[in-house]
Amino acid sequence: MKIKFIEEEVKYIGSQLAPHWIYKNYKIQGDAIVAFCGECDVKLTEMVDIEDVINNEPIYSKYMLSFITEQFGVNLMEGVLRQRLLITIIKELLEQKGVFVIRNGDDLMIDGKKLSVSIATKSINSILIHTGLNIISEGAPIEASGLRSELGISDIKTFAQDVMSKYVAEIEDIKLACAKVRGVYE
C-alpha cells in the first residue's frame, strides 16, 4: 500500500470519497492512503452516512487533518474493520503522547468532545475510508476537540505520516499472518 502526505491544502467536501480519486489526482495506482489538511464542509447531499442525513447532521471543521484510503479486493465488512483499525492506531498514537482518548466505534472523544469523523463505504471495485481529525475546534457545529488547539500537536504532517505508516505496516502484518498458517480440517 502506498502512502502520500499532500502538501497543498485540500477542502474536503465528501466528493473525494470516490473510486480512483487518489489515482486521478495524485497518480497513485492501487491500494493507497493519503493525508491532507484543510477545511471540511460536507453537505447532506454529499453524505455517505445515511444516519447523518436522516438526523440532518452535516459535517464541518474549519481546519481538519483528513485521511482517505482506497483498497481493492476487500468487502465492506473488512473495510469497516480496517476503518476501526485506523481509528485504533490514531488512538494509540495519541495515548503515546499522554492524551486520554475514548473510542466509541469509529468516534474518538477527548474530554467528552468529538475529535474525529469517519466513514467506510464500498464502491463498485474498492472500499473507501475517510477519517478526519479536527486540527482546531473553533467553529465546529458540535463540542469538538482539536489536535493543535486542545492537544498541542503542532507537527501535523509528522503525526499524519506516523498514522499512515503504522496503518500500512499493520495491514501488511495481517496479510503475512494469514499466509504463515496451515489450514486445519476435520
CATH, residue 28: 3.30.930.10
Rg, C-alpha atoms of the chain? 16
Q: Are strands 116-122 and 102-104 parallel, antiparallel or unpaired?
A: unpaired
pLDDT in tens, 161-185: 999 999 999 999 999 999 999 999 9
**What is the model's pLDDT at position 58?**
86
Domain count, the chain: 1
Q: Are strands 2-5 and 32-42 parallel, antiparallel or unpaired?
A: parallel
SS3 of residue 54 by DSSP: helix
Residue 140 has pLDDT above 90, yes or no: no
Average the pLDDT over 123-138 and give the result. Answer: 96
Instruction: Using alpha carbons, list the distances in angstroms from residue 173 to 8, 92, 178, 183.
Output: 31, 17, 9, 18
To the nearest whole percent, how much of the chain has pLDDT over 70?
100
Structural domain contains residue 184: no
Q: Tell me how long the chain is.
A: 186
Task: Give me 168's grid cell.
Answer: 500500512
Give the chain's mean pLDDT. 96
28-32, 139-143, 159-163: the lowest-pLDDT one: 139-143
Contacts of 142 (CB under 8 A, 6+ apart): 114
Output the DSSP codes for 85-139: HHHHHHHHHHHHTT---EEETTEEEETTEE-EEEEEEE-SSEEEEEEEEEEE-TT
Return the residue matching grid coordinates 479536527.
Answer: 134
pLDDT in tens, 105-126: 999 999 999 999 999 999 999 9
DSSP 44: G
Q: What are phi and psi of 120, to 5 degrees?
A: -125, 140
Structural domain contains residue 54: yes
Structural domain contains residue 29: yes
Q: What are phi and psi of 59, to 5 degrees?
A: -110, 135
Structural domain contains residue 150: yes
pLDDT in tens, 39-86: 999 999 888 999 888 998 889 999 999 999 999 999 999 999 999 999
pTM, whole model, 2 decimals? 0.95
Helix (H) / strand (E) containing 108: strand 107-110
Structural domain contains residue 172: yes
Structural domain contains residue 186: no
Helix (H) / strand (E) containing 179: helix 156-179
Q: Which domain holds residue 157?
A: 2-179
Q: How far is CA 7 from the centre of its chain?
A: 17
Better-predicted residue by pLDDT, 47 or 155? 155
